Amino acid sequence: DFETTIDEEKMKKDYLPSFYREHHPKWTDEEIEEKIANLTPEDMDDAVEPSFYDENPEHIRLVVEDIFKNWRNRSNDGKYNALFTTHVGGGKASTPMAMMYFKEFQRVNKEHAKTGDLTLKVAVTFSQSTNNGDNMVATNNNLEYAMNVYNKEFGTNFKLDTVAEYTQDVTSRLNKSARDKKFLDIVIVVDQLLTGFDAPEMNTLYVDRTLKGAGLIQAYSRTNRIADIQEKPWGRIINYRWPAQNEKLMNDALAIYANKDSASLSEEERKAKNKSDGITAPEFKDLFKEVKEKVSRLSNLTSEFNELPKSERAKDEMFELLREYNAGIAKLKQYDPQETKDEDIGFDYDNPDALIEQLGMTPDQETMLTTVLTNELKQHIAKKKRVPLYQIELKLTHIKDVKVNYDYLTELVE
């Protein structure tokens, strides 16, 4: 996903003029307007130039707000965790930006704790400064503050003389190898953990910086270890800066490192090929259309979700359709709910019935399909193949959680 916290009009009218006046006080208004109208890739690369996004409190607030708002979808309802990377341009230290994010997460957590809303366990890790530079004291004070927050959260006792041990403990809570089973939701980094780090149950990388080339591929790959193809069908990248430019950088990197056949294609052709080859995820509307077609076929096979098909061939078809339906539902639930000018898209955990009905079922029919009929089909296949029921693998992802008791099931099948 390529997003921006500040829309283009506001960026060009409010932020960029003041940004360039501050950094180039001798420029005229005409020169500033010319610059804004002709931004180069280097202007949008925080490895080269500073950006109005850097240490911008409003941007940071809106990014954290977006993460909390869409956490359930992106984490598969809390099953998976995330890495967050940020970087500032112009050769400045990036650790202050990382700490601004960390403190904003703490602020929101404190507010949410009072109201009973979602809180997230967040840590930040970066190297201790020993260079005697201007930022050394501030960097180490920030690191000590972050460690103290961490110690309080997890009952540890890390100090500035045990930074390596602190980082090791943080990674164990991100890759879920910590012995006490107390894990982190998000770890904020500048460059650490973006290469070589393995966390099969991390599915999202939040990016507030410019990544490109091999560095982009390495960082994006942190999310792609598949622990469970049903629950984690893909990794998720959420990019918060220069959306059009960073999408181009992604497609360029994929063309070189992941899909060399597309190196000579145009930008739009690369984008389309990455989708058709399954390198990037489909649009919600395209996946929704596929799943809805499977629901229609399942409805026809089961007399509108009332009974198993009569023939063995139809039962076999139903079994395969259920697997495909299930894989599709698991993916649909990970799309953020959004309102477009034409329709609402994505999955809303607070209104799961909406997706059920859009797919062409009632909530009762969905429950009937994923419980009663699925179990009857598994029992039939187990009996036919003379194998124990547990050997028939057909795990269904429910669109919503329902409390099912005997009377309710009886009511459904009568």
Chain segment 91-103, per-residue pLDDT in tens: 788 999 999 999 9
* Average pLDDT of the segment spanning 130-136: 70
| Residue 145: predicted pLDDT | 96
> What burial class does residue 384 get, using C-beta atoms within 10 Å of its C-beta: 0-12 exposed, 13-18 middle, 19+ buried?
exposed
Above 50 in pLDDT, residue 360?
yes
Which candidate, 240, 188, 186, places its Cα nearest to that of 211? 240
Which candidate, 192, 182, 200, 128, places its Cα nearest to that of 160? 128
| Residue 397: predicted pLDDT | 58
Could you give the CA distance from residue 153 to residue 121 in angstroms, rounded to a whole number?
8
Give the pLDDT confidence of 189-233 residue by residue, as tens digits: 998 988 888 888 999 999 999 888 888 888 888 887 766 667 777
Contact of 186 with 109, CB cutoff 8 Å: no
Could you give the CA distance from residue 269 to residue 251 in angstroms, rounded to a whole number?
10
**Three-class DSSP labels, 6-46:** CCHHHHHHHHHHHHHHHHCCCCCHHHHHHHHHCCCHHHHCC
Look-up: residue for tokens 């469970």? 228
Above 80 in pLDDT, residue 286?
yes
Give the pLDDT confidence of 18-68 residue by residue, as tens digits: 777 777 888 888 888 887 777 777 777 766 678 888 999 999 999 999 999
| Residue 413: predicted pLDDT | 44
Helix axes 57-69, 95-115, angle to 10 degrees: 50
Residue with the bigger pLDDT between 400 and 121: it is: 121
Q: Distances from the Cα of 178 to the Cαs of 7, 161, 183, 202, 290, in angstroms?
A: 41, 21, 7, 14, 40
Could you give the CA distance from residue 333 to residue 316 in angstroms, rounded to a whole number?
26
* Average pLDDT of the segment spanning 306-312: 93
Q: Helix-strand-coil percent breakdown of the chain, rounded to 5?
A: 55, 5, 40
CA angle 351, 356, 361 (to 5 degrees): 145
Question: How many Cβ atoms are within 10 Å of 179's Cβ, its own excluded?
Answer: 6
Could you give the CA distance from residue 111 to residue 118 in angstroms, rounded to a whole number?
10
What are the two backbone dihedrals, phi and then psi, of residue 347, each rounded to the nearest 5 degrees? -115, 130
139 CB contacts (<8 Å, ≥6 apart)?
93, 95, 126, 128, 129
- 8-state DSSP, 262: G
Look-up: residue for tokens 């990377």? 85
Could you give the CA distance from residue 233 to residue 226 in angstroms, rounded to a whole number?
7
Question: How many Cβ atoms are within 10 Å of 43's Cβ, its own excluded?
Answer: 18
**pTM reported for the whole predicted model:** 0.79
Q: Distances from the Cα of 271 to the Cαs of 3, 262, 294, in angstroms?
A: 17, 9, 27
* pLDDT, the chain, mean: 84
Give all strands (DSSP E) within 37-87, no chain letters: 81-86
Confidence of residue 408 (pLDDT cuts 50, 70, 90): very low
| Residue 19: predicted pLDDT | 77
Q: What percent of the chain has pLDDT over 90?
A: 45
User: Dihedral angle at the C-alpha atoms of 292, 293, 294, 297, nearest 10 degrees?
Assistant: 120
16 CB contacts (<8 Å, ≥6 apart)?
32, 36, 52
How far separated are the first and last CA of the chain, in Å rounded? 45
Above 80 in pLDDT, residue 158?
yes
Confidence of residue 390 (pLDDT cuts 50, 70, 90): low
Q: Which range is least confidently modeled, 79-88, 126-135, 145-154, 299-308?
A: 126-135
Give the pLDDT confidence of 109-121 residue by residue, as tens digits: 999 999 999 999 9
| Residue 389: predicted pLDDT | 64
